[in-house]
Structure 1
Amino acid sequence: MKPLVDPANRPSRKAPLVWAVAAAVPWALLAIGQVVWWLLDARWPLWHGLAAAATAAGALFFIGVVPVWRYRVHRWEVGAQAVYTRTGWLVEERRIAPISRVQTVDTQRSPLDRLFGLANVTVTTASSAGAVQIVALDSDVADRIAAQLTDIAALGEQDAT
Structure 2
Amino acid sequence: MVTLVDPANPPSRRAPLVWAIAAAIPWTLLSVTQVVWFVLDSRASWLHAAAAVVTVLGIVSFVVVAPMWRYRVHRWDVSLDSPTPAVYTRTGWLVQERRIAPISRVQTVDTHRGPLDRLFGLADVTVTTASSAGAVRIIALDSDVADRIVARLTDVAAIGDRDAT
Question: Shorter-chain TM-score: which interval?
Answer: over 0.9
Aligned counterpart for 2:96 among listed residues 92, 95, 109: 92
Residue 75 of structure 1 corresponds to which residue in structure 2?
A: 75
Task: Please state if 1:7 is matched with 2:11.
Answer: no
Residue 23 of structure 2 corresponds to which residue in structure 1?
A: 23
1: CA distance between counterparts of 2:2 and 2:117? 37
Residue 136 of structure 1 corresponds to which residue in structure 2?
A: 140
Deviation for aligned residue 1:5: 3.7
Listed one character per residue, the Cα deviations across residues 19-66 of structure 1 (whole Å, up to 9, x for unaligned) are: 000000000011011111111110111110110011011101110000
Q: Is the Cα–Cα contact under 8 Å of residues 15 and 71 in structure 2 kept in the other structure?
A: yes
Aligned-partner residue type, residue 120 of structure 2: F
2: CA distance between counterparts of 1:65 and 1:10? 17
Residue 39 of structure 1 corresponds to which residue in structure 2?
A: 39
- Structure 2: give runs of 5+ residues left out of the alignment: none
Listed one character per residue, the Cα deviations across residues 105-140 of structure 1 (whole Å, up to 9, x for unaligned) are: 000100100000000000000010000000000000
Residue 159 of structure 2 corresponds to which residue in structure 1?
A: 155
Please say which of residues 37-46 and 15-24 is displaced more in the overlay. Answer: 37-46
Residue 117 of structure 1 corresponds to which residue in structure 2?
A: 121
Aligned-partner residue type, residue 37 of structure 1: W
Aligned counterpart for 2:150 among listed residues 122, 138, 146: 146
RMSD: 1.0
Residue 127 of structure 1 corresponds to which residue in structure 2?
A: 131
Question: Under a length normalisation based on structure 1, what TM-score does the superposition of the two structures give?
Answer: 0.97
Question: How high is the sequence identity, in percent, across the aligned residues?
Answer: 71
Deviation for aligned residue 1:2: 5.9
1: CA distance between counterparts of 2:154 and 2:145? 14
Listed one character per residue, the Cα deviations across residues 68-114 of structure 1 (whole Å, up to 9, x for unaligned) are: 00000000001121000000000000000010000000001001000
Moved >2 Å (runs of 4+): 1-5
- Structure 1: give runs of 5+ residues left out of the alignment: none
Aligned counterpart for 1:105 among listed residues 106, 109, 132: 109
